[in-house]
Amino acid sequence: MLAALWNKRKQPQLIQKQNALPYGYRSTVMPTYVRQKFGAVLLRWGATAIRGDLTAKKAHISTFIELVNELPQQTNLLEEAFDRIAFMLTEYLQARSPIITIPSASRSQQVLTAMLNQPSGGRVQQGLVYALVKTLYDEPLRTLVRTKPVFAGDRQSGQLGDVEVIDIPSGKIITAVEVKAQKLDQLTYDDVVRTHSAQDRAYLLLILVEAIKARIVSNDDSVFIIRLPDFCYTILAEIIIHKKLSAEEAIHQVLVIYNDFCDNIQKDSTLRIDS
């Protein structure tokens, strides 16, 4: 129906057949115009939605085309009529199915996204995870968050996890985090779990990954596989909530610790990020 008015708007002298579907009713030109100007997402009818001539069952379409044919042949009036109807249709559609507008990312989100997407062999990503976890959980005399240089062996570093949360009074690991900035497969999973099974493990093991290549077989309820971005955004939100900080203050604290990781642990100042 809207296509009939669109055709009249484009050709004011056009007289359309009342018993035939409007020319170009499946074209994307008119829906694109409506979406760009008013924000309405018009349904794109499939091949069997409306077929053949407009019979009595579709009399409302024929009546609308008849009314369109009677409109004055003035371009400005036709444009105004089309825009008014398109606006009314937009209000109707959005009342039924509101369009959710996602705001542009804040600076803190932009920083995290840029760091997560930075090719670095996992160095930036491990430093980021360490900084986030340390900001949230490190507490004098109670908990210690530690890490090691990326690519440092477990024996050389004396540390199994890429990032570990330690209970200071008991000296025991509470949580170990393995940062795998890659797609996880069964072989990598088994290797990680085997590393942490070398001793009687009584701590939670988190494996952070970009994605999972295939179904991972695991019988260990204390091993969690989490998407790296999901983990980072969640920890940042926890920092903001529990530390009662603004997003800007939270990301500033995280970057201070991250830059310290670059300078004093990874010893690669090229990875630093100006805060």
Q: How many domains does the chain have?
A: 2
Question: Do 55 and 169 fall within a single domain?
Answer: no
Q: Which among 149, 103, 116, 118 is positioned nearest to 235, based on CA atoms?
A: 116
Question: Do 154 and 229 fall within a single domain?
Answer: yes
End-to-end CA distance of the chain: 55
pTM, rounded to two decimals: 0.62
Give residue 215's identity as a one-letter amino acid code.
R
* Last residue of one domain, picked from the residues 69, 96, 123: 96
Q: What is the pLDDT along the chain (275 residues), one digit of tens a residue?
A: 888 898 988 999 999 988 888 888 778 888 888 888 877 777 655 444 455 566 777 788 888 888 999 998 898 988 998 889 888 888 777 666 555 554 556 788 888 989 998 888 889 999 999 999 999 999 999 999 999 998 765 555 568 899 999 999 999 999 999 999 888 989 999 999 888 886 677 899 999 998 887 788 887 888 999 999 999 999 999 999 999 999 999 999 999 999 999 999 999 888 998 76
Beta strand pairing call for 223-227 and 143-147 = unpaired
The answer to whether position 101 is within a domain reads no
Q: Structural domain of residue 159, as residue ranges?
A: 107-271
Question: Do 178 and 236 fall within a single domain?
Answer: yes
Question: Do 63 and 148 fall within a single domain?
Answer: no
The answer to whether position 102 is within a domain reads no
Question: Do 137 and 252 fall within a single domain?
Answer: yes
